[in-house]
A and B are shown apart, each in its own frame.
Chain A
């Protein structure tokens, strides 16, 4: 290649990446720096005053009796979501991996909630989970007195998790199905000739061979769970009490309902640090677990 062509190539490259680069700086990096800056300030939108308050917001964070509850709710939600999502995804993938006719139809059906508008899906479930809603009326027919799912402390969190899992489990199911189909058939045949039971085959052959997919999907699911907002806003509004108030929802309440923008920025810093810690863990795990990502 001549020098002139190389130079022209370089200019084209800069022109091609310019919009994405400028956007990342303007809408990601600058706001990220500003989050830290705002967390040291109080901003009153109505009076339009922006005053430096030092570590006040951080002191408020340390003293806020809701913060431990919110973090605990976030932990419950994320842990519950990952466990239920991955187990169900794996179960569905194993079932769809059997040599049955018509599994494509079932794959489409299990996947369909992924493309149903998120708020539409959540509204139907809110309707069905009412005290006199669809689920309780079916339970009633079976002689069971169902609880007021979204209003009792014991069931609200479980309900939010299940609604979210059913919405998106299809994604992980497809990833697991691809991983299962990548397991060499000879291994299964060899194990069967050795007289291994199906459960032993699953535990000793299938699980180890798809472990990287399990790790990858659990990371995606945990990080995704920290961003769940609409489902909680529509189903429970964080209630009853603060039992389903996860960090993102609390951040929204403080910043945009109570107009405590400085404190909202402080909560954003907290969310950022949690995501950063998770990413660091993810990198460590990937290094240790030689990945075969394509």
Chain B
């Protein structure tokens, strides 16, 4: 009994630095700027003025849309590219298979920070700076999707061959077997890949600040740091309002589907 109380006590104390920041972010965003540096755990004079300011100081709705549509497109694109490549590497025998797989795996080895300078020059010469193309094309086809391909390959290897052989007897082509039999069975792996791909895109910071320069093109992480007064002073409550709006929707989805999130993210090796 005493051991139990002790266990709960430690867990509760350890929880504080994990949970308190989110609480503090939301309550502080509702405090007027005069009260913002205090110890109040509750916003006593709650006001949504700062939440409103978020939209008048920057094209925040537009930036929100940018982040959301980029993350959705990148997630769908990655699912297509990675499930096809993962399936072919796992299930079909072809000449050069191992060598080509090694070529693809270099994407896992080389962090995207290493190649950001040449990629910037390439996209600059293509006239694609200050467009969303680099944030969409590189994750779908480049290094970030290689991890997804690797995970899909590992999954398809474990699928029993018998199912596919039966379909083969019925005269289905390889592409049809992939689409009608393998892909529906791969739902758990696709879910895990979708979760980490979406979050990675949603969190991207270095790439947007390198490639984008006009406010209407910004993504959320980049926009969050721009709420300052004309003297570069921080407008804390506005920043925290924007941060809350960025974090809360994902947190809600996480609470609903926590098991899928935790299993998916931990076993697909999100970095850090």
Contact = CB atoms under 8 A, between A and B. Distances in A.
A52 interface: no
Given A8-B174, A116-B250, A171-B272, A128 B24 contact: yes
Contacts of A108: 255, 258, 262
B140 to A, nearest CB: 7
A221 B117 contact: no
B57 to A, nearest CB: 15
B116 interface: yes
A229 interface: yes
A10 interface: yes
- In this complex, the interface size class of chain B, counting residues with CB under 8 Å from chain A, is 35 or more
Contact of B95 (A10, A16, A30, A220): A10
A161 to B, nearest CB: 12
A226 B120 CA distance: 20
Given A27-B141, A116-B251, A138-B39, A223 B100 contact: no
Given A16-B84, A27-B119, A120-B246, A115 B271 contact: no
Given A10-B94, A43-B121, A95-B11, A20 B137 contact: no
Contact of A23 (B81, B117, B243): B81
A12 B143 CA distance: 23
Contacts of A20: 81-82, 84-85, 104, 141, 145-146, 149
Contact of B114 (A30, A107, A220, A275): A275
Contacts of A178: 266
Contacts of B128: none
A275 B109 contact: yes
B188 interface: no
Most A-side CB within 10 Å, residue of B95, B247, B269? B247
Nearest to A175: B266
A153 interface: no
A98 B149 contact: no
Interface string A123-143: 111011010111001100100
Contact of B251 (A112, A133, A252): A112
A220 B117 contact: no
A271 interface: yes
A15 to B, nearest CB: 8
Contacts of A245: none
B208 to A, nearest CB: 10
Interface in A10-34: 10, 12-14, 16-17, 19-32, 34
Contacts of B210: 252, 256
A251 B116 CA distance: 10
B110 A116 contact: no
B206 A118 contact: no
Given A10-B95, A166-B18, A38 B117 contact: yes
A119 B243 contact: yes
Interface stretch (A63-71, A186-194, A204-212, A260-268): A260-268
Interface in A243-294: 248, 251-252, 255-256, 261, 264-265, 268, 271-272, 275-276, 279
B231 to A, nearest CB: 17
Given A115-B254, A223-B111, A24 B104 contact: yes
Contact of B117 (A115, A230, A268): A268
Given A10-B94, A117-B221, 19 more contacts: A9-B92, A16-B178, A19-B81, A19-B84, A29-B106, A31-B115, A32-B115, A35-B115, A120-B25, A124-B25, A127-B25, A128-B24, A166-B18, A168-B272, A175-B266, A227-B272, A230-B206, A261-B117, A268-B117
10 contacts: A12-B174, A26-B142, A32-B115, A34-B115, A116-B251, A117-B247, A118-B221, A124-B240, A127-B24, A275-B114
Q: Which 7 A-B pairs have the closest CB atoms?
A: A23-B141, A27-B142, A224-B271, A34-B118, A31-B115, A120-B243, A16-B88
